[in-house]
């Protein structure tokens, strides 16, 4: 059995902090150019705007020493309201990360990578989305402000491993419980994590996040493998589903 030197990389991707344009961004990681097209209805922060650049830098400070922040993005409508000065709160947002120590793992299959990831979690490998939802009832009464609790591995498919998380935050005197689904995969052999967040409003919150993640990850993985020549393009609807 091969010994995996990247176990510390897996831990870095799991120890995650809390969160433009719609076009694909080409980002170089570990000598590989990754093409990252955001999920539909999300827009990236504009690094050319001082206020939005500072929002991005705050996320970098949260992730310092663990992960490199590749993209920070928000619901397009919510971001537009912020840019007009109408609101400074967000319900739907996300980020794309890679470990601070950039490294690629050629020859490692995603199946093997996901199995190694699962060993890092406290819970059994495939607890499943339903069991993850059931565990929320135990977590919510106990979770404290500023604390994040893992719901374990919700699902795996050919594209990624998906883990659930709840976090309680306070803003302007109010408390909020935020649900997150964190997807972890290899893109061109590079470890990448995509985090999506929304307010926890019952079981549907986790279901919606998981569905968004699966659609996004399948497209992300396939598009990069097409560009790399590993797969032929698949005919059909456009990436945005139109």
CATH of the domain at 218: 3.40.1000
In the predicted model, what is the mean pLDDT of residues 93-120?
89
Q: How many CB atoms lie within 10 A of CB 149?
A: 17
Q: What is the pLDDT of residues 13-38, one digit of tens each?
A: 444 433 334 445 789 999 999 998 88
In the predicted model, what is the mean pLDDT of residues 163-192?
88
pLDDT band at 133 (very low <50, low <70, confident <90, very high): low
What pLDDT shows up at residue 89? Answer: 84
Q: What is the pLDDT of residues 192-240, one digit of tens each?
A: 999 999 999 887 888 899 999 999 999 999 989 887 665 544 444 444 4
pLDDT band at 110 (very low <50, low <70, confident <90, very high): very high
Query: What's the per-residue H, E or C state across the chain?
Result: CCCCCCHHHHHHHHCCCCCCCCCCEEEEECCEEEEECCCCCEEECCCCCHHHHHHHHHHHHHHCCCEEEEEEEEEHHHHHHHHCCCCCCCCCEEEEEEECCCCCCCCCCHHHHHHHHHHHCCCCCCCHHHHHHHHHHHHCCCCCECCEEEEEEEEECCCCEEEEEEEEEEECCEEEEEEEEEEEEEECCEEEEEEEEEECCCHHHHHHHHHHHHHHHHHHHHHHHHHHCCCCCCCCCCCCCC
Residue 238 resides in a domain: no
Residue 234 resides in a domain: no
Residue 233 resides in a domain: no
Residue 199 resides in a domain: yes
Domain count, the chain: 1
* Closest alpha carbon to 9 in 69, 114, 98, 110: 98
Residue 138 resides in a domain: yes
What pLDDT shows up at residue 118? Answer: 79
Residue 95 resides in a domain: yes
| Residue 196 structural domain | 7-228
Residue 236 resides in a domain: no
What pLDDT shows up at residue 129? Answer: 53
Residue 240 resides in a domain: no
Q: What is the pLDDT of residues 143-171, one digit of tens each?
A: 888 888 888 888 889 999 998 888 888 87
Residue 176 has pLDDT above 60, yes or no: yes
């Amino acid at each position: 059995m091969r010994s995996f030197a990247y176990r510390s990389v897996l831990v870095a991707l799991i120890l995650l902090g809390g969160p433009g344009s719609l076009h694909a961004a080409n980002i170089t990681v570990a000598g590989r150019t990754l093409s990252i097209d955001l999920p539909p209805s999300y827009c990236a922060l504009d690094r050319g705007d001082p206020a939005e650049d500072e929002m991005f830098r705050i996320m970098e400070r949260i992730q310092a020493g663990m992960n490199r922040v590749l993209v920070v993005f928000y619901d397009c409508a919510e971001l537009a309201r912020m840019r007009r000065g109408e609101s400074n709160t967000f319900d739907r947002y996300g980020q794309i990360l890679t470990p601070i120590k950039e490294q690629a793992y050629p020859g490692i299959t995603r199946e093997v990578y996901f199995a190694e990831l699962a060993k890092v979690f406290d819970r059994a490998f495939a607890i499943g989305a339903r069991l993850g939802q059931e565990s929320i009832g135990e977590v919510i009464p106990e979770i404290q402000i500023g604390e994040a609790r893992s719901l374990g591995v919700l699902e795996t498919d050919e594209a990624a491993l998906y883990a659930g998380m709840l976090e309680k935050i306070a803003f302007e005197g109010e408390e909020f419980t935020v649900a997150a689904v964190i997807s972890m995969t290899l893109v061109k052999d590079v470890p990448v994590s995509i985090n999506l967040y929304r307010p926890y409003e019952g079981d549907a919150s986790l279901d919606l996040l998981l569905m968004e993640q699966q659609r996004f990850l399948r497209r992300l993985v396939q598009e990069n493998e097409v560009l790399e020549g590993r797969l032929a393009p698949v005919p059909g609807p456009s990436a945005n589903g139109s």
